């Protein structure tokens, strides 16, 4: 029974370590791609955006990272599609299209957040659409990436892998020494304390 629990513990520890390692790699890739492009992080042609409001909950939670696909014909969208558009120079919004409005040569979209009671006050010109939401979201990861792309966060990400490596190395050495000590104790010959009288 002890062996079974020990095996389960080792497997669980390995899974947790692997998951944390993958999460760290993912975040490092986001930060590096963000710094390299000088703007939004990109992975395989998809942009990663942080959601700052709950207007699209429950599907997209506040603080999530979402993947959007930029480019293409911005007049192609249909009712029900979720788009990311420029509301102002500094503000992007991701909402669902509830109506398509054709006005002469222009195509406009009436949009609404799934969690909002009413549609957005102004329709969106197709020229102001920057990307389409792909359906990929990582809940709450945006809080981390916002910190990671800041000056202090970037510095921490440079130092953190080294610290984690040192801790892991120390733990591995400690376990190896403990195993060696255990093996020495179990393999030591027993001393017979009985004495033979001297003739």
> What pLDDT, in 10s, does the model give residues 177-199?
887 877 777 765 555 555 555 55
End-to-end CA distance of the chain: 53
66 phi and psi angles, rounded to 5 deg = -120, 155
Q: Is 187 within the bounds of a domain?
A: no
31 phi and psi angles, rounded to 5 deg = -65, -45
Using a cut of 0.85, tell me whether the model's pTM lies above it.
Answer: no
In which domain, by residue range, is 161 found? 150-179
Q: Is 185 within the bounds of a domain?
A: no
Based on the residue annotation, tell me whether 187 is a catalytic residue of this protein.
no
Mark whether 158 and 133 lie in a shared domain.
no
Does 98 or 174 have the greater pLDDT score? 98
CATH number of the domain at 44, please: 2.10.109.10
Q: Is 48 within the bounds of a domain?
A: yes
Q: How many domains does the chain have?
A: 2
Mark whether 119 and 172 lie in a shared domain.
no
Mark whether 128 and 169 lie in a shared domain.
no
Say if residue 39's pLDDT is above 60.
no
Mark whether 86 and 157 lie in a shared domain.
no
What pLDDT does 48 receive? 85
What pLDDT does 28 receive? 63
Mark whether 144 and 166 lie in a shared domain.
no
* pLDDT band with cut points at 50, 70 and 90 for residue 11: confident
Q: What is the pLDDT of residues 116-159, one digit of tens each?
A: 999 999 999 999 999 999 999 988 877 776 766 666 766 666 67
Mark whether 127 and 30 lie in a shared domain.
yes
Q: What is the pLDDT of residues 81-127, one digit of tens each?
A: 999 999 988 889 999 999 999 988 889 999 999 999 999 999 999 99
What pLDDT does 20 receive? 65
Q: Is 184 within the bounds of a domain?
A: no
- Selecting among 33, 53, 126, 154, the annotated active-site residue is 53
Q: Is 107 within the bounds of a domain?
A: yes
Does 57 or 181 have the greater pLDDT score? 57
Q: Is 10 within the bounds of a domain?
A: yes
What pLDDT does 52 receive? 86
CA nearest 124: which of 111, 114, 105, 134? 111
């Amino acid at each position: 029974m002890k062996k079974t629990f020990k095996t389960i513990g080792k497997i669980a520890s390995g899974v947790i370590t692997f998951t944390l390692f993958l999460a760290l790699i993912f975040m490092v890739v986001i930060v590096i791609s963000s710094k390299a492009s000088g703007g939004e992080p990109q992975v395989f042609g998809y942009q990663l955006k942080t959601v700052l409001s709950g207007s699209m909950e429950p599907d997209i939670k506040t603080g999530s990272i979402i993947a959007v696909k930029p480019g293409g014909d911005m007049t192609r969208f249909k009712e029900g599609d979720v788009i990311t558009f420029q509301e102002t120079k500094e503000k992007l919004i991701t909402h669902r299209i509830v109506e398509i409005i054709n006005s002469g040569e222009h195509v406009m979209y009436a949009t609404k957040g799934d969690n909002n009671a009413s549609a957005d006050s102004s329709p969106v010109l197709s020229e102001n659409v920057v990307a389409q939401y792909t359906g990929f979201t990582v809940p709450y990861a945006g809080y981390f990436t916002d910190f990671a792309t800041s000056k202090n966060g970037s510095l921490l990400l440079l130092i953190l892998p080294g610290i984690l490596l040192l801790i892991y190395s120390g733990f591995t050495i400690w376990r190896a020494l403990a195993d060696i000590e255990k093996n020495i104790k179990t393999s030591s010959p027993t001393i017979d304390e009985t004495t033979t009288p001297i003739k």
